[in-house]
Amino acid sequence: METGYTVEQLRVAAADAVRAPSLHNVQPWRFRLRDGGIEVLLDPRRGLPATDPSGWGARVAGGAALFNLRLALAVAGNPATVRLRPYPAEPTVLARLVPDLPRRPTPTEQNLHAAIHRRLSNRAPFWPDPVPADTRWRLGEAARAEHCWLELLIGVSAVTAFAEIARGAHRVLERDPAYRAERLTWVRAEPAPDGVPALAGGPQAEPQDLLPSRGFGGAPRAPGRDFEPEPLVAVLGSAGNTAVDQVVAGQALQRVLLTATDSGLSVSMLSQPIEVPSAREQLRMSLGRFGTPQMVMRIGFGRPGRPTPRRPVDETLDLPVHLG
């Protein structure tokens, strides 16, 4: 393709991109067509000043949306070459995608693409069944394919040590009234195009829970439906922690999540220990890894979860006036 991407290609690909996860489902992205390239931008009106003052979460979400865009373009036979943060003077532009040589999609691209609209955060308790070794390996490969690492915490003592770090971070965050108030503004009791519906928010936390959960207004859980006693906890990390590293981590996150979905697994995310710098450093040291932890996931086999809504795709597009 010599002439660049079209508005129609952008619309189709953006409909997949917006299914990416984002903190509190704020959907902090925009997409535009510029000189034949598709660009992914952060929407400054959709920041979370109390929860995500550095913009880490928005860049990770933008990276996840970018991964979906890449897949959508690839399965349509028009894969992209990607440049991250292409304009130093415009830090809100996370990526620019220009057409590469047309080719058939690979089976992996097709499978991951097919998982985009099935993937969701499942905050309910999972079954105790262990995740098979070959699936664990696939998850690690997914992270490595996107230049990141995935550390699976094996054994009760590793998970217990992690849980202590996570609960400590949760307590630190919950002490901040602005952080608590901001979360409540994104909990939805009524249908809305963004935010977390109470039904998708997982059950209310209880004192016996090993891992902390963000309160999204969920109902008390049914008797006997406690969380699995030995959850599979996975930490995703990147080589560094620049803005570009965070976009890279977002792409790797989405690849891991889609690989998990394609493998029949459920996942929930917990980022409290990433958001508190001292907890993040403790986590990094406990793993004995170089680089920076960027996300923590609880992975297992669950009942079907509840999807969250998205804004209409056209609300996320910046189109040239004569094409809009």
Question: Of the two residues 20 and 33, which places its CB atom closer to ligand FMN in the complex?
Answer: 20
Binding of ligand FMN by 183 (CB under 6 A)? no
**CB of 320: closest distance to ligand FMN in angstroms?**
30
Going along 116-195, which residue ranges are E strands? 149-153, 187-188
Question: Of the two residues 121 and 316, which places its CB atom closer to ligand FMN in the complex?
Answer: 121
The first and second tokens of residue 301, run together, are 């086999």
- The 3-class secondary structure across 226-263, one letter per residue, is CCCCCCEEEEEEECCCCHHHHHHHHHHHHHHHHHHHHC
How far apart CA 12 and CA 29 sit, in angstroms, is 16
| Interface map 114-143 toward ligand FMN (x if CB under 6 A) | ------xx-x--------------------
CB neighbour burial string for 68-88, b if at least 16 within 10 angstroms, e if fewer: bbbbbbbbeebbbebebbbee
CA 170 to chain centre: 19
**CB of 48: closest distance to ligand FMN in angstroms?**
10
How far apart CA 23 and CA 61 sit, in angstroms, is 7
Binding of ligand FMN by 298 (CB under 6 A)? no
- Residue least distant from ligand FMN (Cβ): 21
**Single-letter amino acid code for the residue at 200:** A
Q: Where are the alpha helices (DSSP H) in 76-124?
A: 107-115
How far apart CA 121 and CA 124 sit, in angstroms, is 9
Binding of ligand FMN by 24 (CB under 6 A)? yes
3-state DSSP assignment of residue 232: strand
Dmax over CA atoms of the chain, in Å, equals: 61
Tokens 């409540």, residue located = 184
| Interface map 66-85 toward ligand FMN (x if CB under 6 A) | --------------------
Binding of ligand FMN by 214 (CB under 6 A)? yes
**CB of 242: closest distance to ligand FMN in angstroms?**
16
Binding of ligand FMN by 308 (CB under 6 A)? yes
Sequence-distant (6+) residues with CB within 8 A of 111 are 262
| Interface map 264-293 toward ligand FMN (x if CB under 6 A) | ----xxxxx---------------------
The residue range among 55-63, 79-87, 158-166, 313-321 that interacts with ligand FMN, by the rule CB under 6 A, is 55-63
Binding of ligand FMN by 259 (CB under 6 A)? no
Binding of ligand FMN by 57 (CB under 6 A)? yes
Question: Of the two residues 36 and 44, which places its CB atom closer to ligand FMN in the complex?
Answer: 44
Say how many residues touch ligand FMN, by CB under 6 A: 19
Going along 61-170, which residue ranges are E strands? 80-84, 93-99, 149-153
Binding of ligand FMN by 251 (CB under 6 A)? no
**CB of 25: closest distance to ligand FMN in angstroms?**
4
Q: What are the percentages of helix, strand and coil residues in the chain, rounded to 5?
A: 40, 20, 45
Binding of ligand FMN by 21 (CB under 6 A)? yes
Q: Which residues bind ligand FMN (CB under 6 A)?
A: 21-25, 57, 60-61, 120-121, 123, 196, 214, 268-272, 308
